[in-house]
Amino acid sequence: MSRSRLTCMLAAVVVAAVSVWLLASPDVIQAQAPKKGGVLRIGMIGEPPTLDPPTTTAVITREVTINTFEGLFALDAKYQPRPHLADGVDVRDGGKRYVIRLRKGVKFHNGKEMTSGDVVASLVRWGKLASPGKAIFKSVEAVEAKGPLTVEIRLKQPSAGLLTVLAQVDSAAVIMPEEIIKATGDGQLKEFVGTGPFKFVEHKPDRHIKFARFDGYVSRTEPANGLAGQRVAYVDELYFIPVPDYATRQAGIATGEYTYIQQVKPDQYDRVKSTPGVDPVVAKPYGWAVAVPNTKQGLMTDKRLRQAIQAALDIEPMMLAAMGHKDFFRLDPGLFFQEQAWHSKAGAELYNQKNKDKARRLLKEAGYQGQPVRWIVTTEYEHHYKPALVAKSQLEEIGFKIDLQVSDWATVVQRRNKPELWDVFSTAFVFVPEPATSSQVNCNWPGWWCNPEKDELLQAMQKEPDFKKRYAIWEKVQAIFYADAGRIRFGDYFRLDAKRKEVQGYRPGPYMHFWNVWLDKR
């Protein structure tokens, strides 16, 4: 037998053996073709305060509604805006006029085709109700339909970040039918009709929120790229189930009661990895924990008291208590993550000071007499609650009296809008792409940190097109953030979720969503 023939025979045997191994190996399930069918049951940390995206910055609202509502633009894998419901955009008059062309044939879940009238009504409502919308609309002159599939946004001054803000998913500029918006006005939505791959079916409080695949969905054809590009609803239904207890969620993913759960305690990471049929899902980076003082009313209107809190805190034990695992947090002064172009160390000397003597001096200068500091927090997010517990101990050591008021997250969100009810609340800021309108520094967001110099800089940043100049402005804003102590930054945290192994196509990242995800049960 010739050497070449023998080589070919051996190669054929190897190929056949490898083919059998590939078919048998559980590690290659990812290579299987996507398939339709099945139900995803997602164990959530609680109930969203609303299903109306523009009216809240609550992450849990976005995590549910991102599957059913869409915007004109979407963020790609590099967090740059790409057309989504829009077909394209022309920027004119030096950035003061945006002419947006809409995709033809996009359908709402009620069967109606999307037109410019729907887009205009949606954007105007977003500009009235959403924190980033309010920031943008300060410079909006008009939003008008220029034909059935064309919308024009005219600005009083150029806006370098407009398309990025229209693409972001927190307090999102989602598009809804004009008639529903007219019926709703500035109140809360009662009908949840979007254009997304899943349509709303029902909400049974404390039981589930149910979505079903929208068979009339009109997807983009480009390959998926971050949140941009093609979206396919493979599973038949999504059930978002409130499961506030960590242990119950974790037990449920192990038994298969849930196919995906959010917010696993990081100290359970090794256990999750060793649980049969379960994979950990790590989003790094994800957010940063923060205490928000009420600068509008009450004790915290005195900057010296805010500065005293900032000076006193030792952040590392707070974050270790929050996450329970040193690999799931980091200390950093940047209001944007190290992985982002906007990251800066401006004001770093005022971050994590651990200076109790300075804090006591500031308390004395402010004339603090031991009045209770009403600090509202939820146990549904341990990265909110545990740092607040440690902070309470540290602050009482230097003379503060902390009244820690614990409730569910939906109640915290409701109460934080009423300045007479609180002095500090715990929350976290998650991954956002555009600094100039971000909640971290937004004057309209609860806490109402309004600083004339900071607000003027943000206005200048919005109209400046050059990145280097925008970055220099942002560094000044971050320095003011620490000098004024309008928010008290803790540390970055990384999120641990978990999924069943049969959940395929899921891509870990800062934005949980379930299109392009399928079930492969064998």
pLDDT at 139 over 50: yes
Q: What percent of the chain is predicted at pLDDT more than 90?
A: 79
User: Number of structural domains, the chain?
Assistant: 2
Average pLDDT over residues 213-219: 96
Domain span at 321: 286-494
Query: Does residue 440 fall inside a structural domain?
Result: yes
Q: Is residue 219 part of a domain?
A: no
pLDDT digits (tens, 9 = 90+) for 266-289: 999 999 999 999 999 999 889 999
Q: Cis ω on the peptide bond leading into residue 285 (within 30° of 0)? A: yes
d(CA 171, CA 455): 20
In angstroms, the CA 86 to CA 144 distance is 15
Compute the distance between CA of residue 510 and CA of residue 474 in angstroms, rounded to an integer.
22
Q: What is the pLDDT of residue 509?
A: 86
CATH number at residue 418: 3.10.105.10
Whether residue 167 is predicted with pLDDT greater than 70 in this model: the reply is yes
C-beta of residue 195 within 8 angstroms of C-beta of residue 515: no
- 241 falls within a domain: no
pLDDT classification of 181: cutoffs 50, 70, 90: very high
Backbone dihedral angles phi then psi of residue 181, each to the nearest 5 degrees: -65, -40
In this predicted model, what pLDDT tens digit does every residue of 33-77 receive, in sequence order? 899 999 999 999 999 999 999 999 888 999 999 999 999 999 998
Q: Can you give the pLDDT at residue 386?
A: 96
Comparing 158 with 518, the larger pLDDT belongs to 518
Residue 95, pLDDT above cutoff 70: yes
Q: Same domain, yes or no, for 53 and 200?
A: yes
Is the confidence at residue 341, as pLDDT, over 70? yes
Residue that finishes a domain, picked among 194, 213, 232: 213
Where are the alpha helices (H) located in 168-215, listed in sequence order? 178-184
Check: CB of residue 479 under 8 Å from CB of residue 345.
no
pLDDT at 82 over 50: yes
Does an H or E element contain 308, and which? helix 303-312
Within 13 Å, how many C-alpha atoms sit on residue 221's CB side?
2
Boundary of a domain, candidates 213, 238, 263:
213
Mean pLDDT of the region 110-137: 95
User: Please, which pLDDT band fits residue 25 given cuts at 50, 70 and 90?
Assistant: very low
DSSP annotation of 399: T
Q: Residue ranges of the alpha helices (H) in 419-503?
A: 452-463, 467-484
- In a domain? residue 255: no
For residue 447, give both structure tokens: 């806490």
Residue 11 has what pLDDT?
Answer: 39
Domain's final residue, options 213, 232, 264: 213
Q: Could you tell me if 197 and 342 lie in one domain?
A: no
The answer on 439 and 301 residing in a single domain is yes
Same domain for 328 and 192: no
Same domain, 197 and 307: no
For the stretch 395-414, pLDDT in tens is 999 999 999 999 998 899 99
With respect to residue 325, please indicate whether it lies within any of the assigned structural domains: yes
- Residue 242 is assigned to a structural domain of this protein: no
In-domain check, residue 4? no
Mean pLDDT of 97-108: 97
Q: Is 444's pLDDT higher than 90? A: no
Q: How far is CA 38 from CA 234, 249, 336, in A?
A: 8, 20, 38
CATH code (residue 110): 3.90.76.10
295 and 204, same domain (yes or no):
no
Please tell me whether residues 79 and 197 are part of one structural domain: yes
Q: Are residues 292 and 160 in the same domain?
A: no
Looking at residue 10, its pLDDT comes to 34
Residue 204 pLDDT class (50, 70, 90 cuts): very high
234 pLDDT more than 50? yes
Give the pLDDT of residue 8.
Answer: 38
Same domain, 294 and 207: no
- pLDDT for residue 522 is more than 60: no
Reported as a pLDDT band with limits 50, 70 and 90, residue 430 is confident
Cβ(379)–Cβ(371) below 8 Å = no
Mean pLDDT of the chain: 91
Pair (302, 433) in one structural domain: yes
Sign, CA torsion 307/308/312/318? negative
Same domain, 162 and 46: yes
The model carries a pTM of: 0.78
| 240 falls within a domain | no
Task: Read off the pLDDT band of 31 (50, 70, 90).
Answer: low
Same domain, 334 and 202: no
